[in-house]
Structure 1
């Protein structure tokens, strides 16, 4: 009874906190984008190759990969030219083909900047506020892959917003990529004899993906307090990661910020991840690491002045996201974050959290 009262008080506090921000009154509830992008009907009706094409809504990434592996170059190009949005977003399609398809798809849209300067866009969906995934590094040759999963207020327009640096998902991915390929000396938790790989060594073949592949909450409102958007986004993340392994990439490590930690928690059992790192997390919709149903190593970081610590770790009546992943009882491996500042400072250059993240991305911390 005492625990129930504590949980109920926590929910009341959470409701009051959210209502106090006018989040619920601001009309910012989001409709999650699900299913394949526009053009799926034309793709499904296409018989230009003399046979049915993989169902973009249901075909497993492994089947998609096998289908494209059996196509001649001219057949691949035909599909790219006729259906760039489907080819660019279909998990299991060869990486280079997706880059080219998405470069075509973004032209003439508000997101045309994504086609400039040889950017490697692995996914692009113009629906809603827009979704995008961008690769930093060479995914085709990478020995290690990391995927950064953002929290609220992230979409195709804001994910690489100028002037925000490491505080937006593209900046986080760039900072992690830079740190992962740099000689940084001893990795956190290792002795002076353990050094990071020098540039050019096998361990530095790390690619990092900024993945804005789900509809994120806007502000601190009802969407951020419930799991609805995370429940819609988790299958998209799981499918995306399975698409990476289907084309020969290694199992990725997931770096999940804020509400992105809820998405990663719900996707954990199906995401084919080697590591799941949450930071600034309100919860993972699980009581412990064991409840996640994954064999991935699970890590958690939270600095002393992150405001997320004031959010009650409860889950009741659909509100809240459960146990604090940074608490001792959850069972996650702790990531140092003494030098990080605030809710979005974990990727700041020179911080202990970024050094640890880079070591995890390289597979040096276990």
Structure 2
């Protein structure tokens, strides 16, 4: 009974501490957008090409890529003009078409879903011609209205890594909002992992290099759950509450796994356990986990791992452009 009380107390502390900088309390769980995107019905009903268009809900990215490979330039442009919401979010579609379809949402926007709090992915650098690709997976309280910081981190990483590297700022999943159980459970991370896997499959179908994933805070839970099903070259976690795995082997990935944690990061006060669905498991920077640990002594706080001049950003850039293995 004493052990049970200890574990339960730890789980409660996890709930509170993981949300330690997340803002106001959240009494209800976040809802994840479900069902087809707006415009899907019109897309599926479009018979102007005398061929069936791929179902955005069920078609694989490789099937989408094969479909677009068989179109003329004029046909591609008509689909962008008539169905921007679908084309702009269709993993496997050519990058330049997705940019055009999402032009009203911003520059080099790879995906834009306005439902709920909103989902967005934006590219820093030349994705179509990149030798190296990275994806930043953010933690809690990130959506369309609070995306600037994630986009800034992508820009800083891309500049540090160089012109042959493109970086995707991926707010492509519903993140936890405020302080609540969403932060301490894997529900939103599981949904996010599915979307992250599909993103990486889309990059592969478009003929782009295997990406390096840079996963911050709750985003590292997403990356941990997605690890076995992505073709990522590297998975880098920072300020991580855990990856829902006991060690690197449990992740089931061939990617090189890296981890960083500042001694000044409040995440260090989070108990690294998983019990009754609460908590996210082992500390990725612990010796027994098996990740390559990066220096982070000069990182001043939880949200500063991408700050220019830090040892972490320097290491991240070396990983992103393939210089650090």
- The answer on whether the counterparts of 2:16 and 2:180 sit within 8 Å (CA) in structure 1 is no
Matched, 1:246 2:234: no
- The answer on whether the counterparts of 1:21 and 1:221 sit within 8 Å (CA) in structure 2 is no
Matched, 1:27 2:15: no
Deviation, structure 1 residue 37: 2.1
- The answer on whether the counterparts of 2:25 and 2:179 sit within 8 Å (CA) in structure 1 is no
The 1:294/1:22 distance shift into structure 2, 3 A limit, reads closer
The 1:53/1:89 distance shift into structure 2, 3 A limit, reads same
Matched, 1:359 2:318: yes
Correspondence for 2:39: 39
Matched, 1:262 2:221: yes
Divergent runs of 4+, >4 A? 1-6, 15-25
Correspondence for 1:136: 124
Correspondence for 2:235: 276
- The answer on whether the counterparts of 1:23 and 1:222 sit within 8 Å (CA) in structure 2 is no
Deviation, structure 1 residue 20: 9.2
Correspondence for 1:150: 138
Deviation, structure 1 residue 4: 6.2
SS of corresponding position for 1:329: coil
- The answer on whether the counterparts of 1:215 and 1:229 sit within 8 Å (CA) in structure 2 is yes
**Aligned to 2:168, which of 194, 209, 223?**
209
Describe the superposition over 1:194-225 as per-residue Cα deviations: whole angstroms up to 9, x where unpaired: xxxxxxxxxx4000110000001112321111
- The answer on whether the counterparts of 1:252 and 1:272 sit within 8 Å (CA) in structure 2 is yes
Deviation, structure 1 residue 353: 0.5
The 1:94/1:286 distance shift into structure 2, 3 A limit, reads same
TM-score by length of 1: 0.84
Return the alpha-carbon distance in structure 2 between the equivalents of residues 60 and 248 of structure 1. Answer: 15
Deviation, structure 1 residue 28: 4.7
Correspondence for 2:79: 79
Describe the superposition over 1:227-273 as per-residue Cα deviations: whole angstroms up to 9, x where unpaired: 11111111101101110111111000000000000111111111211
**Aligned to 1:170, which of 139, 144, 151?**
151
Matched, 1:68 2:42: no
Matched, 1:223 2:182: yes
The 1:271/1:3 distance shift into structure 2, 3 A limit, reads farther
- The answer on whether the counterparts of 2:18 and 2:270 sit within 8 Å (CA) in structure 1 is no
TM-score by length of 2: 0.95
Deviation, structure 1 residue 19: 9.4
Return the alpha-carbon distance in structure 2 between the equivalents of residues 91 and 20 of structure 1. Answer: 35
44-53 vs 255-264, greater mean Cα deviation: 44-53
Describe the superposition over 1:72-97 as per-residue Cα deviations: whole angstroms up to 9, x where unpaired: 11111121111101000000000000
SS of corresponding position for 1:349: coil
- The answer on whether the counterparts of 1:225 and 1:321 sit within 8 Å (CA) in structure 2 is yes
Matched, 1:320 2:301: no
Return the alpha-carbon distance in structure 2 between the equivalents of residues 332 and 14 of structure 1. Answer: 22
Correspondence for 1:179: 160
Matched, 1:311 2:270: yes
Describe the superposition over 1:303-335 as per-residue Cα deviations: whole angstroms up to 9, x where unpaired: 001001111111111111111111111111111
SS of corresponding position for 2:100: helix
- The answer on whether the counterparts of 1:138 and 1:207 sit within 8 Å (CA) in structure 2 is yes
Correspondence for 2:92: 92
Describe the superposition over 1:85-130 as per-residue Cα deviations: whole angstroms up to 9, x where unpaired: 10000000000000000114x3xxxxxxx2xxxx100110000111
Gaps of 5+ in 2: none
